[in-house]
Chain A
Amino acid sequence: MSRKKDEKRLDEVISRTINSGKPEFDAEKWKQKYPEEFQMLQSMSAEKTRTRRPSIWRVVSQSPIIKLAAAAVIIVGIGLYAVLVHQGPGEHHVPVVKSPTKMMTAMSLTMAYRRGGIEAIDEQCEKAIRMLGPRPLRLTLGQLLSENND
């Protein structure tokens, strides 16, 4: 007997032994047998929304675009934080009231020059003069000395 015929015969024998008619699913019978599960199936939608809360991490990890956007937000956030932390309180434009004498010291004038060049020195001098206010046209020696003796 040829190999092909042997195989065919084996197929027939197995089929005859195993195959006892195609099983048909009876949905109605099944619903009657498992009413609790059927009820559970119908209420599945509500159950799903109750039990599964959307996880941010899951949403982020599923889409590459959202991943990139999240990474960009994190980098920008870290950058802003670093800038704010490294910016010392002196760099904020907090008005500091100095006396005209202090404003005219060499150190103060050098700092003004570094900040804005010769215009800044000029501005600082103007400011110091303004702070001193109007001066009397004439000043006696006694008045001048009394001011220095204070």
Chain B
Amino acid sequence: MTQKSDLTLVEAAINGNADSFTELCRRYYPAMVAIAHSVIGDRHLAEDAAQQTFAKAIRQMLQLKNKTKFVAWLATICRNVALDLAHSRDRLQSAEDLSMIAAESHENDVTESVKEALNKLSASAKELIFLRYYDGMTYEQISAVLGISEQAINGRLRRAKKKMANYLRHSGFGEV
């Protein structure tokens, strides 16, 4: 996944090459799903958000100024789409539905605690954890998506994990 080939694909897509755009979608779909999942907390909705992101990207493609930052730009669109979907879902879902989901989701205490620990993180830290663990993305790949250095990613990831470990320890899960 070199920057040059990304740039070539982006330029070709802007010139109306559908195959190039499809390749970009294939390449960054998991990252977009991870970002959307960190916002929405639902895998299916996250996939919808990622697909909607690509549709929205086409509509705004001619506004893209820096083609080398295509992925970071795509991630911004994805965050906004995911937030919109989360808000409309929250509006539609009644309190009854929420209680049903809560009852269903008591599958595993550890999993529940990890989810709670994740929810204690800031939106950006949560997004970083999802990108790293969703599809085992490398620091280089995450760096391209978030537009920050690998050192910054390492530092943020360490701090996020430390915060999660502390939360889990206080929740009675011993040493994690």
Chain A interfacial positions (CB closer than 8 Å to B): 1, 6-7, 9-11, 13-20, 22-25, 27, 30, 33-34, 37-38, 40-48, 51-52
User: Which 5 residue pairs of A and B lie closest in terms of their CB atoms, listed nearest first?
Assistant: A45-B16, A25-B29, A44-B16, A17-B114, A37-B55
- Could you name 30 residue pairs across A and B whose Cβ atoms are closer than 8 Å? A6-B176, A9-B175, A10-B164, A10-B165, A10-B168, A10-B176, A13-B176, A17-B110, A17-B114, A17-B118, A18-B130, A18-B134, A23-B30, A23-B50, A27-B22, A30-B51, A33-B55, A34-B51, A37-B58, A38-B18, A41-B18, A41-B58, A41-B61, A42-B18, A43-B16, A44-B15, A46-B16, A48-B14, A48-B16, A48-B62
Closest chain A residue to B47 by CB distance? A23
When the two chains form their complex, are residues A48 and B161 in contact, meaning their CB atoms are under 8 A apart?
no
Give chain B's interface secondary structure class. Answer: helix
Is B129 among interface residues, defined by CB-CB distance under 8 A? yes
Give chain A's interface secondary structure class. Answer: helix
The total of interchain contacts (Cβ-Cβ below 8 angstroms) comes to: 99
In the assembled complex, the CB of A32 is this many whole angstroms from the nearest CB of chain B, namely 11
Residues of B60-79 whose CB lies within 8 A of A: 61-62
Within the assembled complex, what's the spacing in Å between the Cα atoms of A48 and B61? 10
In the assembled complex, the CB of B61 is this many whole angstroms from the nearest CB of chain A, namely 7
When the two chains form their complex, are residues B21 and A23 in contact, meaning their CB atoms are under 8 A apart?
no
In the assembled complex, the CB of B10 is this many whole angstroms from the nearest CB of chain A, namely 12
In the assembled complex, the CB of B42 is this many whole angstroms from the nearest CB of chain A, namely 11
Within the assembled complex, what's the spacing in Å between the Cα atoms of A44 and B57? 12
When the two chains form their complex, are residues A41 and B21 in contact, meaning their CB atoms are under 8 A apart?
yes
- Additional 10 contacts, C-beta under 8 A, given A23-B30, A30-B25: A6-B176, A10-B164, A13-B176, A19-B135, A23-B47, A27-B25, A34-B54, A41-B18, A41-B21, A44-B14
In the assembled complex, the CB of A4 is this many whole angstroms from the nearest CB of chain B, namely 12
When the two chains form their complex, are residues A42 and B29 in contact, meaning their CB atoms are under 8 A apart?
no
> Across the interface, which residues of B come within 8 angstroms of A41, CB to CB?
13, 16, 18, 21, 58, 61
